[in-house]
Amino acid sequence: MEYRKTGAYAAPVSILRIIGGRGVPMKKYLILFLLLLIIMPSAAAWAGELPPAGEYTADVALSGGSGKGQVESPARVTIEDGIPTAVVIWSSPYYQYMLINEVYYYPINTEGNATFEIPVSFDEDMDIRAQTVAMSQPHEIQYTLRFDSATLKPRSEGGTGLPVMAAVLMAVIAAGLLINLKRKKV
């Protein structure tokens, strides 16, 4: 394999041709990289800070209890005035309340599975108690919820949403780059 000295580094000539030689010009890679930075914002970029006010989704994990209870994930998260709240939907209609930090939260629906709107903390275990009447008598059960900030994504109302549009745009760009490479090889 032939190597060429480029500044302080030696790189295979075949790689240099692809990145800046006879292959795709470096400008196209730079433009693609910038588009990806604009289109695919990362929750990690928030560096532990909450994103701006708005509607989001985030993965939530439930542990504890008998193992029969489940919550829907991802959960809908709203951030308003710097306070995140989430809509937690249980796998059962029999939950009567959730107790978090000595505050009672009651269902926000009357039909279907029990649904609660609660304040949340990201990336830490939230100890909660939830009362169910699925058994012969009401029972308060200890659970832990954990909301993952790395999965926090803007929520789209209707339409295809940002992730789908970003994937389509990336596919079009990739197809254009491949066509360009094939034309230059012929």
pLDDT in tens, the chain (186 residues): 555 555 555 545 444 455 555 555 656 665 666 566 555 554 344 445 778 889 999 999 999 988 888 999 999 999 999 899 999 999 999 999 999 999 999 999 999 999 999 999 999 999 999 999 988 889 999 999 999 999 999 987 644 455 666 676 777 777 777 777 777 666
Q: Indicate the fold that domain 46-154 takes in CATH.
A: Immunoglobulin-like (2.60.40)
CA distance 38 to 45: 12
Structural domain boundaries of the chain?
46-154
Both tokens assigned to 69? 């209870």
Distance (Å, rounded) from C-alpha 56 to C-alpha 179?
37
